[in-house]
Chain A
């Protein structure tokens, strides 16, 4: 009994760390316009919309976070093998992984922008100076919490995988959670607000992203504020729930039916969530309905 209570405590702690990681990951990637909104940011100058948005396309978020977290975990593993205290090792490993992330971000912005010279998109060096550091800070939070969570799974719950492999798996999961949950808020609700709500993005409006702010010109830090308000917490809840339920079902139900208990509970959780999702979707369609005549929306 005591073992299960301890396990649930660790599960809750890991879930809390994962929530912070998800929120930081989504804010980081949105400031860098990584993930699916990137296509519009990349397209904008070609359609004549010169902008001051940070465009750091390293890869999709899942592979990129797979690398940052696996690298942080690998370096932390190496420092621990050198008999360095685990907390210090995780901090050092995450800091070095963030250095790599920052360098990749700068080269991605410079490369993409220099290749768009034909369309008159200049390189704004102040974007690199002010925004790379902000994305690095968010990435550090995301990497540190995820590596710490992986270390907890190994040292407290006795997970059999070595730290770097667990980092790779959970890094990809973190990127996927942020990409799937957080990006719709930023891309579809903030980036394309030049279009009327519900109008979608017709081809003629491609690249017409929000470039001017209430006062002055918008840059990616404004998108960071927006992401921190909606997309970040949503991604955090998503990744936190994934980690919590994954560990909870293992800790509590693994003794049942020689391990099959955890598998069955996993399937039950998926079914429950599928039913909830379906209910919300049907409710939203009924309540908000299909997009009708534009005069109803005007005021």
Chain B
């Protein structure tokens, strides 16, 4: 069995509390994109991206929890398996209409638990929190994919993901080739989520890791992914709704990025500009 080492100074929000916030928050925010279907508009697409941000914050804390068992180089792999399990659950869940987010969570939990059992009992990694962490990560991955996909095409329903519009000679024609899945934008969302979910802990790990800084970076990664998805969404939804998505993501990104820099400045040993190497007293 691996020995647990604390990744950083304790304190901060307890993990179980973050799980509740993450699960409920992302579910509610994804359902808010359903306002698009109810009102017959596309202005509420950006809620999908916000759901992904909330899910990523939760996922970052889970990765920190899991990787405190000495999985240094395993941090990026944890992101890959999260989104890998998540994308299957999200695509399956999307076919179930209005129940999509809930079905997605259930399917993701099953896939994650199976992956966790395999890792612990077949590969014999024997990490106590492995099963619960991989279950959480699969749900996080699924909510991230579903959220960003809903943001790109305005709906979390499968039919919206496989039909796209292209104007040929002035006529709008519905095709599969120019849809979210037909054009493989889902692959871009997969990679955006996989790098975003692992980056925060991977970037902040070390003895001086602080929860607020890591989670602020998670939010920053989420908003940064939202910016690019908002730009892609110009190809799928109307100009004004896509512009609203872009504005929300840019504002969120600027806020979290400046906050993250301020927190890094707080935690750094020194903040120097064009200074020589400060050799420690007594020499190396």
Residues on A close to B: CB < 8 A? Answer: 47-52, 57-60, 63-64, 66-67, 70-71, 73-75, 77-79, 81-83, 96-97, 100, 103-104, 107-108, 110-126, 161-165, 168, 211, 217
Contact = CB atoms under 8 A, between A and B. Distances in A.
Nearest to B191: A67
Interface stretch (B63-71, B98-106, B133-141, B272-280): B272-280
Contacts of B195: 58-59, 63-64, 67, 104
B192 A110 contact: no
25 contacts: A50-B284, A57-B202, A74-B187, A77-B235, A81-B178, A97-B228, A100-B228, A104-B199, A104-B221, A104-B224, A107-B220, A108-B202, A112-B205, A113-B264, A114-B267, A115-B204, A115-B207, A115-B209, A120-B269, A122-B275, A122-B278, A123-B271, A125-B272, A126-B273, A161-B184
Chain B CB count within 10 A is highest, among A78, A100, A168, for A78
A48 B284 contact: yes
Nearest to A58: B199
B122 interface: no
B19 interface: no
Given A112-B204, A115-B204, A70 B191 contact: yes
B264 A110 contact: yes
Interface of B: 8, 76, 79-80, 164, 166-167, 177-178, 182-185, 187-188, 191-192, 194-195, 198-200, 202-209, 213-214, 217, 220-221, 224, 227-228, 231-232, 234-235, 257, 260-261, 263-265, 267-280, 283-284
B261 A110 contact: yes
Contacts of B276: 217
A174 to B, nearest CB: 14
B270 A51 contact: no
Given A110-B261, A114-B268, A57 B231 contact: no
Given A67-B191, A162-B182, A164-B184, A111 B204 contact: yes
A48 B279 CA distance: 8
Chain A residues touching B, majority SS: helix
Contacts of B164: 81
A38 to B, nearest CB: 10
Contacts of B272: 122-126
A60 B74 CA distance: 10
B203 to A, nearest CB: 4
Nearest to A62: B76
Contacts of A164: 183-185, 187-188
B113 to A, nearest CB: 25
Given A48-B284, A111-B217, A111-B264, A116 B206 contact: yes
Contacts of A75: 228, 231-232
Chain B CB count within 10 A is highest, among A52, A113, A126, for A113
A125 B271 contact: yes
B234 A113 contact: no
B192 A71 contact: yes
Nearest to B253: A103
B205 A115 contact: yes
B96 to A, nearest CB: 25
A107 B219 CA distance: 12
A250 to B, nearest CB: 20
Given A63-B191, A114-B213, A217-B276, 11 more contacts: A71-B188, A81-B183, A82-B234, A100-B228, A110-B264, A111-B217, A116-B208, A123-B271, A124-B275, A164-B184, A211-B277
A289 B97 CA distance: 67
A49 to B, nearest CB: 5
A110 B235 CA distance: 35
